Every structure is written in C-alpha cells, then in structure tokens.
Amino acid sequence: MNKQILELFQANDVLSLEDLKQNLHFSERKVRGLLSQIRQDEKSNGFKIVTVSKRGYFLQINNQEMFDTYMSNQKGDLQDYIGKKEYRISLILFLLLQNTGFISINQIAQVLDVSRRTIINDLSEVKKQLHAYDIELESRSHYGIRVTGKEKDIRQMLSRISGDIAKTQEIPIEFFNFIEQLDFTKETEKFVSLLNQYNILMTNNAIESILFHLKILVYRILQNNYINEIRINRNMIDSTIYSITNEIISFIEENHNIHVTSDEIDLVASQIFGKASSEKIPEKQKNEMSASIESVLAKLDSDFETNFTNDELLKESLLLHLHPLLMRVSYGLTLSDSLIGSISVQHMNAFLVAIQFIDYHDELKGCKLSRDEIGYLALHFATHIERENQRKLQQIKKIAFVADNMRSSTLFIKTKIQSCFPLANVIVIAQSNIDKHDMSDIELIITTEPIHIDKQQNKVVMISEQFDEMEFSKIKNEVIFTVDNYTNETLGIKELFYEDLFIVKKRGDYIALIEEMCSKMVQLGYAQDGYKQSVLERESRFSTIYGNGIAAPHSLKQMGNVDSIGVILLEEPTVYDGKEVRYIFVINVKKGHLLLHQEISDFLVRLMNDENKVKLLELVNTYQNFNVFIKDYL
C-alpha cells in the first residue's frame, strides 16, 4: 500500500486528505494511519511527506536512488487487494455468507478498513451477485443486513467466493481462521482410499473441490446451519457413491463430534457423483447418451464441415464426460479450474464448437454452464482437432526442399522439416535442377526462393531461411487447409484485414462498436445475414475480452462469405463486463474454416502476450500504419 500512496503523490503536486480518501477508498482515520506508517520510513529512504497548511501533502524526494530502491522493494499487501472493487465485493459477500445473523455496514467497513460510503456504493453489485444464486439481501433498521436463502445456495456461493479470495492469506475472517486451523489430513487420506477401494476415478481438482465442500459442511454445522430443503432422487445416484459418502461422513462425524443429516448426506453424495468419472454407467443410460452424442456430432459436422462423427475416441471421451456433467447440472454444481479459463482464448474454435454442442444437446441446452465447464468440454474437441492436424501432417510421405546445397543453413532446415514430418522422405533439390526431376509424386514442395511449376500439381510453400515458428505454421496451414484442391496460396492472417473493415475512434460503447462493425460486414458482403445477431448472442454468453485490452468477438456459427477480421482501435479504452478493452478484432470466417479460426486465435494470443507490441498498437491511427504493423509482426 505504501507504493500505491507514493505513486499517487508522484502523479500529483499536492494531495488533500479528501483526495487521498477518494483515491484509496479508505476512511480518514485509515489514511492518517497509512501516512504515519510511511513517515517512519522517510529518513532512511531518501524522501519526505511534507504537510502544506490548508492544502494537504506533497512528496519531496531528497535522494532519487534511495527512493527508487525503496519503491522497488515495496510489495502488494491486503489493502492493495481491498482497494480493487472486484476483490472488495468478494470480501463483502464472504462476510455476509459466513455470518449467521445481521451485520452492520459500519462493522463491514471496520473489518475491511474502508469508508462506510465505499461499502454503500458496493451494495448494488453485491445484491446483483447474490441474486444470481437466488439469495436475497435483507435489511433491517438498527440491525444491519444479512443474506437469506436456501442453505444449499449459500454454500454453493460460499465455495465460489472462497476460491476467489483464498489466495490472500492475511484476511482476518472467521472462516479462514477456521480452515487454517482445521487439520483435514486424515479425512483426505480416508476419502482417497475410499475412491481407490471402490474403483472411482476422479481428478485432483475434483478431489480438492469435494474436500473443500466437506470443510464448509463442518464449519456450517458447527454454526448450527443445516440443509433441509434439498430434493434429490436417490435412485439416480450409484449405490457405490452412497457407500463412499456414508463412510466418509461417519468418519467426519466421529472426528469432529457433529451430526450430519440425511439431506446433507444426499448433497455430498450428489457432489461426489457429479464430479466422479466412473465407467459404470447404466447400460440403458449409456446407449441413450451415445445416441444423443452421435446426433449432435452429426449436426456439428454439418455446421463446421468437420469429421467428429468418425472419431470413436472423441465419442468415448464425451460419453465419460457427459455423464458426470449432467449430474452436476441437475444439482446445480460446477467444476472450476483457473487453467481452463484460458481454453476460450487459446482454443477459440474448440470453445465455439463446445457452445454449439450444448445448444444442440436436449439435456444441456437449457442449462447455464460456467465458462470452466464449457472449457472442459472444449478440451475434447481441441484434442480431436489436434489429432486431425497430426494425421494430415503424417499423410505427407514425400517432400522436396528446393534450396542451394552449398549453403550451411540447408541441412539445418532439412532437419527441421524432417522433425515436422517424421514419416516423410525429404529430398533436397537445387533450384537449377528442378526441371530435371520428376515432381509428379512430390506431395509438398518447400522453397526459400520463388519457383515456377504447374500450380495444380503440388502444394508449394515459400519460407525464409530462418525457419522459425511462423514458417512452420505457414507449412502446417498449407497441408491442413488444402485437402483435395492444391494451390500455391497459403491462408495467412495478414490477408484477412481490409481497409473498409478498419475503424479508429476516440471512444465508444463496446457493444455498439461491435454492432457497427458487424452491420458493415453484412452490408459489404463479407458476412451473411444474421451474423450480427449471432456475434451479439456469443458475447452475451461470455465476454470475448481477453488480456491487454484485446477483444475477439465472433459468431456462434461460421457465417462468412469472405474470411476477414474487422478491426476497431480506440484512442481511449472502454470498459465492459468489468474488463477494459481498447483493440477489438471481429472474427468472420467461412463455413468449414474452423482451423483458420484457430490460427487467428493463436495470432491474438501471441499479440496479447507481447506487451511491447500492444504498446506499438497504441500508435496506429490509419489502415496503412496498421498494415505495416501486421506485416512487421507476422
């Protein structure tokens, strides 16, 4: 927090006490305390906070080197987190969810060490998040506020909020003190041994999730909070799961001297069943699920011109995934994993297919699935796509590398090509000798210089002598994208940008900007009718705003007439869904070009992870400048 305050002083000449309160969202008492704390470090670190009568304070730096060293050694603390609205709201929600009675706004402000006004301003967002779990915020004069709702819903939200804030270990909240002191080693060992004993497969993340739910169960029961409104069809849950549940609950009852009701046992059983991957799916249910998967995959193949229905491994994986997924959905449970969140960015095409799979599936289409759940499902499609890519690469059996035999780089590039195509025979041909070779059985020609051959005869890719990841991507695209019709042209990202699909604006509303670009794409013939509605529907489900202010809106179905990317650059960033966005790339691809969509997503991931390039993008204000930027980057 010291660093944040000093940075405020560096950015301003003089700051009043009111300025500091507004910028830091703290009470006057807290601000004075922080200033007093910083002043203890003044003499030995080359700076001084000077008081100006009736105006406030300013920063005086006496030794720049000492001050810079001091600033570089400052690390974020709990108050840095609390200063961020999103994190602060999570803490407010947690205080409300773990509290058994009323709590005043002043008490919340004291616990978080912020002003009362800050808490009042946050309450509208708090109510909104509670409402999503069917939980209400009750207010009573002279008492304060409290949450009301079903115990099942409170625990579900408590679990989610706990995960959001558990990374900070300094939170002085009763629940975290309880969890920190709770020794769950024996319970963990017992649960894992039961899974092994009954031959139930479960991921480490799923095991940790179940154990965390059990910790919440112990905590809530010790506070005399019991579930009594849950309704579960016990016949749907495998008897094996109930055996595991009863044994682990009995173990917990004995160790913690509590009594767990039958409703609580039903909920735990449903959680275990929903997160388990067991091969013991009832035969009738298995056949019905297999038929539904087959039907949905056929529709996806029609939409995306893919080959999902012929992939037996994909169908088997989906079957094992779908069974526990449907159970989780029926009980309002969800899987979560921070790593899965990246799937929607890194495998944009697979995430799109997963959304469409859900829309076509009778039992899933009416359910609200989290981004993580869809990400788990998308992994199966991403794996299929990668297998298909590898299969196409391995089909190439004979490659001609046209290069100068005398150059030292030739052998190096040949070795790299061989590693990319392990089943192919790679021969080196000098450019001057091309006419002397029979090229009819050559499936792929890779060259470092322009060559002249029959365009319909072979796949030809021209590369640079550097042969980096970009060059390999170019070769891979030529092999993957062209199946029967061989051409000399490779689909490339830089060919997807058009001057009439390029907009620079000072500022604007995120959704309105997307609507404007989509309408233009349809009007100019780049996209089909209905494209705008499809893009907006995709955005309404999950925002496509990713890292470093980059967004990549796209339609739920491939509706392009011309493969293209609409570009919107903002001089001032806008905010949507709590995320800042400045560079909007509206993706539009033809039916069957799922792999091109992935190539675009790879490009955007590289860009958003390259902060220096993103900063250069800030300087772009014309299509000509953008074209230079893209060519230089690619």
Radius of gyration of the chain (CA): 30
pLDDT at position 84 is: 66
Among the ranges given (104-108, 545-549, 598-602), the one the predictor scored with the smallest mean pLDDT = 104-108
Does residue 186 or residue 71 have the better pLDDT?
Answer: 186
How would you classify the pairing of strands 459-462 and 425-429? unpaired
CATH number (domain holding residue 382): 1.10.1790.10
Element of type H or E holding 242: helix 239-256
CATH number (domain holding residue 529): 3.40.930.10
The most confident of the ranges 64-78, 265-279, 427-441, 584-598 is 584-598
Report the alpha-carbon distance of residue 96 to residue 91 in Å, rounded: 9
Same domain, 254 and 346: no
Among the ranges given (180-194, 225-239, 256-270, 420-434), the one the predictor scored with the smallest mean pLDDT = 225-239
In a domain, 468, yes or no: yes
* pLDDT band of 489, cuts 50, 70, 90: very low
What burial letters (b/e) apply to 541-551, b meaning 16+ CB within 10 Å?
A: ebbbbbebbbb
Angle in degrees, 0-180, between the axes of helices 348-360 and 594-608, rounded to the nearest 10: 130
Mean pLDDT of 438-458: 76
Report the alpha-carbon distance of residue 30 to residue 174 in Å, rounded: 22
Q: Where are the beta strands (DSSP E) in 553-631?
A: 564-576, 579-588
Quickly tell me which residue has 């092994």 as its tokens. 196
CB-count burial class (<10 Å; 0-12, 13-18, 19+) for 378: buried
Written as six digits, the tokens of 28 are 């006057």
Among the ranges given (105-109, 267-271, 452-456), the one the predictor scored with the smallest mean pLDDT = 452-456
Mean pLDDT of 448-468: 73
Same domain, 462 and 513: no
Same domain, 629 and 507: yes
In a domain, 497, yes or no: yes
Residue 513 clears pLDDT 90, i.e. is over it: yes
Spatial contact of 566 and 501, defined as CB atoms under 8 Å apart = yes
Residue 153 clears pLDDT 70, i.e. is over it: yes
What burial letters (b/e) apply to 599-611, b meaning 16+ CB within 10 Å?
A: bbbbbbbebbeee
In a domain, 347, yes or no: yes
pLDDT at position 170 is: 42
Quickly tell me which residue has 């993957």 as its tokens. 480
Spatial contact of 598 and 589, defined as CB atoms under 8 Å apart = no
Q: Which residues pair with 569 in a beta bridge?
A: 504, 583
Same domain, 475 and 520: no
Report the alpha-carbon distance of residue 500 to residue 506 in Å, rounded: 18
CATH number (domain holding residue 421): 3.40.50.2300
pLDDT at position 228 is: 60
Nearest to 28 by CA among 109, 108, 124, 120: 109
Spatial contact of 150 and 229, defined as CB atoms under 8 Å apart = yes
pLDDT at position 45 is: 86
Same domain, 540 and 625: yes
* pLDDT band of 76, cuts 50, 70, 90: very low
In a domain, 488, yes or no: no
In a domain, 115, yes or no: yes
Measured distance between the N- and C-terminal CA atoms of the chain, rounded to whole angstroms: 41
In a domain, 487, yes or no: no
What three-state secondary structure class fits 347? coil
Q: Which residues pair with 49 in a beta bridge?
A: 59
Please state, as a whole number, how many other Cβ atoms lie within 10 Å of the Cβ of residue 567.
22
The 10s digit of each residue's pLDDT in 386-405 is: 888 888 888 888 999 988 76
Written as six digits, the tokens of 43 are 């003499």
In a domain, 486, yes or no: no
Extract long-range pairs of 127-133: CB within 8 Å, 24+ residues apart: 129/89, 129/93, 129/157, 130/93, 130/96, 130/157, 133/157
pLDDT at position 510 is: 95
Same domain, 167 and 213: no
Instruction: Give the count of domains, the chain.
Output: 6
Please name the residues in contact with 519: beta carbons below 8 A apart, sequence gap of 6 or more.
Answer: 532
Same domain, 606 and 629: yes
What three-state secondary structure class fits 453? coil
Nearest to 567 by CA among 607, 528, 529, 534: 607
Written as six digits, the tokens of 208 are 């940790």
pLDDT at position 249 is: 96
Does residue 473 or residue 522 have the better pLDDT?
Answer: 522
Same domain, 174 and 186: no
Same domain, 223 and 255: yes
Q: Which of 349, 368, 392 is the endpoint of a domain?
A: 392
The most confident of the ranges 11-20, 158-167, 232-241, 329-338 is 11-20
The most confident of the ranges 148-157, 206-215, 300-309, 600-609 is 300-309
* pLDDT band of 227, cuts 50, 70, 90: low
Report the alpha-carbon distance of residue 353 to residue 377 in Å, rounded: 9
Spatial contact of 326 and 364, defined as CB atoms under 8 Å apart = yes
Spatial contact of 191 and 252, defined as CB atoms under 8 Å apart = no
Q: Which amino acid is at 573?
A: P
pLDDT at position 487 is: 39
User: How much is the mean pLDDT over the chain?
Assistant: 82
The 10s digit of each residue's pLDDT in 518-575 is: 999 999 999 999 999 999 999 988 889 988 899 999 999 999 999 999 999 999 999 8
Q: What is the total residue count of the chain?
A: 634
CATH number (domain holding residue 52): 1.10.10.10
Quickly tell me which residue has 């009362």 as its tokens. 116
What three-state secondary structure class fits 334? coil
Q: Which residues pair with 15 in a beta bridge?
A: 57
Q: Which residues pair with 584 in a beta bridge?
A: 551, 568
Residue 494 is classified by DSSP as G
Report the alpha-carbon distance of residue 381 to residue 379 in Å, rounded: 5
Written as six digits, the tokens of 417 are 């090509």
Q: Which of 180, 213, 233 is the endpoint of a domain?
A: 180
pLDDT at position 86 is: 75
The pLDDT > 70 percentage for the chain reads 83
pLDDT at position 277 is: 56
pLDDT at position 632 is: 80
Quickly tell me which residue has 């000399």 as its tokens. 488
Report the alpha-carbon distance of residue 610 to residue 625 in Å, rounded: 19
Does residue 232 or residue 87 have the better pLDDT?
Answer: 87
pLDDT at position 95 is: 81
Spatial contact of 56 and 16, defined as CB atoms under 8 Å apart = yes
Nearest to 150 by CA among 276, 272, 334, 331: 331
Please write down the HEC assignment for all residues of 202-227.
Answer: CCHHHHHHHHHHHHHHHHHHHCCCCC
In a domain, 253, yes or no: yes
Q: Which amino acid is at 524?
A: L
Same domain, 453 and 538: no
Which residue range is the domain that position 409 belongs to? 396-481
Residue 316 clears pLDDT 90, i.e. is over it: no
Runs of H (alpha helix) within 40-84 = 64-73, 78-82
Same domain, 524 and 606: yes
Same domain, 186 and 176: no
Residue 52 clears pLDDT 70, i.e. is over it: yes
Q: Which of 154, 180, 206 is the endpoint of a domain?
A: 180
pLDDT at position 486 is: 35
